[in-house]
Chains A and B, each alone.
Chain A
Amino acid sequence: MTRSIAQLVEAVVAARDDIAAIRSAAQLISIVEDAPERLPELIQAISRLAEASRPRHARLLLGVTGAPGSGKSTLVDAMVAECRTRFPERRVGVVAVDPSSPFTGGAVLGDRVRMMRHATDPKVFVRSMASRGHLGGLTLGVRGAIHVLGLLGCDVVFIETVGVGQSEVEIAGVADLVLLVLAPGQGDSVQLLKAGLMEIGDVFVVNKADKPEAAKVHAEVLAALELDKQVHAGEVDPLSAESGDGSQAGDALAFERGRCGRVEPRACLVSAQDKKGVVELVDAVEEIAAGVAGPSHEESGLAGRARDGFGRPAGRTSSGHRTVQAVACASG
């Protein structure tokens, strides 16, 4: 007995308990994962619901990207735990994307291994997805999953990207904030920053602070962010800007891009494994989120974009005025 999208949407909302809601939500995600072209049908079914007594979309979409092995999944696990402690009554969602084999189309999806302690928590929903040939770090099903997790009542949704590297800018068009995870021993992390990932990160998380080399990576990231700031400040022609320092021109551009123009990138040192610095990281994320969210939340602010999909141009090269902030987190 396969149920239609509309029936499943009703079933999620009318479910008598968490288990029933979760099962319907999971089936709904599968439908839009296998047939992404049916996304409008899903969105319509959700919007047709009787006057919402609670929001039907997540308050905060958090992208988590970075090289394989940097600790994205472990970090998501730790942040989910912190969110659950902080807001025990709120639901948390995770969508984690791993690559499909280009040869067979098969995939081993392993992100969940790090998050299994949450499996039996009815307030945590984790969904693994294969990239299915989609380049850019996500997969077509992610959009549908975000809608369904919003419908299910998730307050925060984490989106973990494939993490293959420099082309993964798509996440910036989907998430409200992007956490870029770096770790010592991941090759030259600063090289990664230079190669285009700099622009998509809102919070640069230097993970594995329990390793001695992490402090050096943290310092490098701070230096790279500072340099980025100077370079972009220099790009603005002082004559065309109203004020000499060019900051207003920067503001205008950032505003046009509709995202995080007001967000100053931060660098944060954490150990996801030892749960050090995670509280401070969630503090930083919540602080940024509070600043970004505004009265126009519905249409243009947090999570509003996700309804329109991957459309927003990635990058934020114009925010030349931003200042670098180091968040005091754990040391080794």
Chain B
Amino acid sequence: MPARVPKPRILIGKPGLDGHDRGAKYVAHVLRDAGYEVVYTGIRRSPEQIVDAAVQEDVAAIGLSLLSGAHNVLFKRIIDLLKERGAGDVLVFGGGTIPPDDLPGLEKLGVAAVFTPGTSAKTIIETIDRLLAGRAKP
């Protein structure tokens, strides 16, 4: 493998109570195939677990997979916790069954992107590449 400037690291987490991890695993693999190092944290994680792991892993972004319907609360909690930990610069994006009506509110919260079901791998990669451009480490 040629030496290269590594792409920023991304943590994928799945807060909430449902046990479906297909979406989270799919995004993890899409990002891996695009050259990202993805820290996968599994299902049913609390916002605290996700944020504390993200801080230890020093990731540039957190991707949340959400199916449970509690997305507004969970996104807010995670973004608040990141700020509390002095890690407000960590980008937060998400995916899952999120009603279009909620998207403006999430954007206002600071959620950088939301991938609804059916989003192509290409779109995911292009979006993450664009959002993280310039965050490549020196």
Contacts and interface: CB of A to CB of B under 8 A. Distances in A.
A100 interface: yes
Interface stretch (A111-119, A169-177, A253-261, A278-286): A111-119
A26 B58 contact: yes
Interface stretch (A55-63, A127-135, A289-297): A127-135
A110 B42 CA distance: 8
**A2, A30, A105, A132 — which one has the most chain B CB atoms within 10 A of its CB?**
A105
Interface stretch (B48-56, B66-74, B93-101, B104-112): B48-56
B125 to A, nearest CB: 11
Given A109-B37, A113-B40, A27 B58 contact: yes
Contacts of B29: 108
A23 B137 CA distance: 16
Nearest to B136: A34
Interface in A155-186: none
A88 interface: no
B62 to A, nearest CB: 13
A37 B56 CA distance: 22
A126 B40 CA distance: 13
A113 B33 contact: no
A29 interface: yes
B91 to A, nearest CB: 15
Given A105-B6, A112-B53, A133-B1, A30 B137 contact: yes
A70 B137 CA distance: 35
A101 interface: yes
Contacts, number: 97
B34 interface: yes
A204 interface: no
A120 B4 CA distance: 33
Nearest to A30: B58
B117 interface: no
A130 B34 CA distance: 15
Interface in A1-56: 2, 19-20, 22-23, 26-27, 29-31, 34
A121 B92 CA distance: 23
Per CB-CB distance, the 4 closest pairs between chain A and chain B, nearest first, are A133-B1, A106-B32, A113-B42, A26-B58
Interface of A: 2, 19-20, 22-23, 26-27, 29-31, 34, 100-102, 104-110, 112-113, 116, 119-120, 125-128, 130, 132-133
Interface of B: 1, 3-7, 9, 28-29, 31-42, 45-46, 48-50, 52-53, 55-58, 85-87, 137-138
7 contacts: A20-B86, A26-B57, A104-B33, A105-B7, A106-B32, A109-B39, A112-B53
Given A2-B138, A23-B85, 4 more contacts: A19-B55, A101-B32, A106-B34, A119-B45
